[in-house]
């Protein structure tokens, strides 16, 4: 474990600007239910994380919550750990410093972006 980085999905900050899509590998918290993971909270709007809309995001200087929640949402935001969808489920673990492949299903591209940190 010493050399392993436990990557909580929240650590991957997905910023999406108005587009529609979901992170499937590793699954974001709002999409865990699609993989029949016990304890995952169904979120039928997991393609709709858009930082609260472009207008909200733009008015805040392009701020976005973790996993596309609106920056202005009260904390913990839905996709944050202990939030509505954050049930402490670790979707995947990776070795620190490794190069990883991710899969994102873009269902409507409105010039949205994802940023990994
Ligand atoms: C991607 O999303 C579309 C629309 O919801 C769905 O039909 C398709 O099965 C999804 N693809 C994967 C690999 O989950
Ligand atoms: C996406 O960006 C291109 C180039 O900047 C622009 O021409 C187009 O209108 C944009 N589309 C949307 C849906 O914002």
What is the tens place of the pLDDT at every residue in 36-94? 999 999 999 998 888 888 889 889 998 999 888 999 999 999 999 999 999 999 999 99
Q: Is residue 115 part of a domain?
A: no
Evaluate: CB of 107 within 6 angstroms of ligand 1: yes
Beta-strand relationship, 4-5 and 94-95? antiparallel
pLDDT on residue 107 = 87
Cα-to-chain-centroid distance, residue 40: 14
Evaluate: CB of 93 within 6 angstroms of ligand 1: no
pLDDT on residue 4 = 31
Q: Is residue 113 part of a domain?
A: no
Ligand 2 pocket list (CB less than 6 A):
110-111
Residue identifier of the C-alpha nearest atom 12 of ligand 1: 105
Closest CA to 29 of 45, 17, 50: 45
Q: Is 16:113 a contact under the CB 8 Å cutoff? A: yes
Residue identifier of the C-alpha nearest atom 4 of ligand 1: 107
Model-level pTM? 0.75
pLDDT, tens digit, for every residue of 5-14?
333 333 344 4
Inform me whether the pLDDT recorded for 18 exceeds 80.
Answer: no
Q: Is residue 116 part of a domain?
A: no
Three-state SS annotation for the chain: CCCEECCCHHHCCCCCCCCEEEEEECECHHHHHHHCCCCCCCCCCCCCCCCCCHHHHHHCCCCCCHHHCCCCCCCCCCCCCCCCCCCCCCCCCEECCCCCCCEEEEEECCCCCCCCC
Q: Is residue 37 part of a domain?
A: yes
Backbone phi and psi for residue 27, each to the nearest 5 degrees, phi listed first? -65, 135
Q: Is residue 47 part of a domain?
A: yes
Q: Which atom of ligand 2 is nearest to the CA of 109?
A: 13
Q: Is 65:80 a contact under the CB 8 Å cutoff? A: yes
pLDDT on residue 19 = 61
Q: Is residue 15 part of a domain?
A: yes
Domain extent at residue 94: 2-108
Residue identifier of the C-alpha nearest atom 8 of ligand 1: 105
Q: What total of structural domains would you count in the chain?
A: 1
């Amino acid at each position: 474990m010493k050399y392993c980085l436990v990557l909580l999905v929240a650590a991957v900050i997905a910023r999406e600007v108005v587009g529609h899509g979901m992170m499937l590998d590793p699954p974001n918290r709002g999409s865990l239910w699609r993989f029949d993971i016990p304890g995952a909270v169904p979120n039928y709007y997991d393609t709709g994380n858009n930082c609260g809309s472009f207008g909200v995001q733009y008015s805040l200087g392009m701020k976005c919550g973790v996993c596309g929640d609106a920056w202005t949402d009260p904390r913990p935001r839905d996709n944050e750990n202990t939030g509505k969808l954050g049930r402490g489920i670790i979707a995947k673990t990776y070795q620190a410093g490794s190069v990883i492949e991710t899969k994102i299903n873009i269902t409507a591209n409105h010039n949205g972006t994802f940023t990994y940190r």
